[in-house]
Chains A and B, each alone.
Chain A
């Protein structure tokens, strides 16, 4: 069964600190992996998209890594800001079709 797991379920950090969110997946055949940011009361917004051949991709203070062998991905946030408070969702696509498998998300709270 195609599945995406994320950890931790929630995380609280202080402003300015770094953090890393984890994503494990059992999706086959793998096509690509995305990280989305979802602010409260809003729809998810894409942060990064990585294909099988990409190991890392950055978007400003966000850096995503992918290990296709172990089927793991991480999202590293550097120098966190209050505006980083949101849910971060890992999404794996199994093919070129609409088969997106969503993780449950990690709820990040950045405190002043």
Chain B
């Protein structure tokens, strides 16, 4: 158990559906991330939040909409997705502090998303 919990573990949705992925971290971290992992490709950074504020949007299409209501929770709202969006979506957290020289990522188990 890494201290980062993602739900649901699996999700199948049609292209016209609206769904949300949820991430919760119990580590007291102040930075949270969404990554996309497609088959045989490196993890792709999607969004970064520091102290609830979005600090990075890695040119992600608007059909992906993140929400970070507090430092412990992170959501990814999905609407009108495409089949090529099928992938493993990973949430991670870290302690973002200038006193921490090595920022260590803790990952959740991911949501395996299939878009039909």
Contacts and interface: CB of A to CB of B under 8 A. Distances in A.
A100 B35 CA distance: 11
Contact of B92 (A42, A43, A103, A104): A43
Nearest to B10: A41
Contacts of A44: 43, 90, 105, 107
B102 A51 contact: yes
Interface string A1-15: 000100001000000
A96 B95 CA distance: 11
Interface in B68-116: 90, 92, 94, 96, 98, 101-110, 112
A104 B101 CA distance: 25
Interface in A65-94: 89, 93
Nearest to A39: B109
A42 B102 contact: no
Interface residues of A, number: 23
Interface in B1-32: 2, 4, 6, 9, 31
Given A41-B112, A43-B92, A45-B107, A32 B102 contact: yes
- Please tell me the size bucket of the interface on B: 20 to 34
The 9 closest A-B pairs by CB, nearest first: A43-B107, A102-B42, A102-B43, A104-B42, A42-B109, A44-B107, A43-B109, A98-B48, A43-B108
Interface of A: 4, 9, 31-32, 41-46, 49, 51, 89, 93, 96-98, 100-105
Interface of B: 2, 4, 6, 9, 31, 33, 40-43, 45, 48, 55-56, 90, 92, 94, 96, 98, 101-110, 112
22 contacts: A31-B102, A32-B102, A41-B9, A41-B109, A43-B4, A43-B108, A43-B110, A44-B43, A44-B90, A45-B2, A51-B102, A93-B102, A97-B103, A98-B33, A98-B48, A98-B55, A98-B96, A100-B45, A101-B42, A103-B42, A104-B40, A104-B41
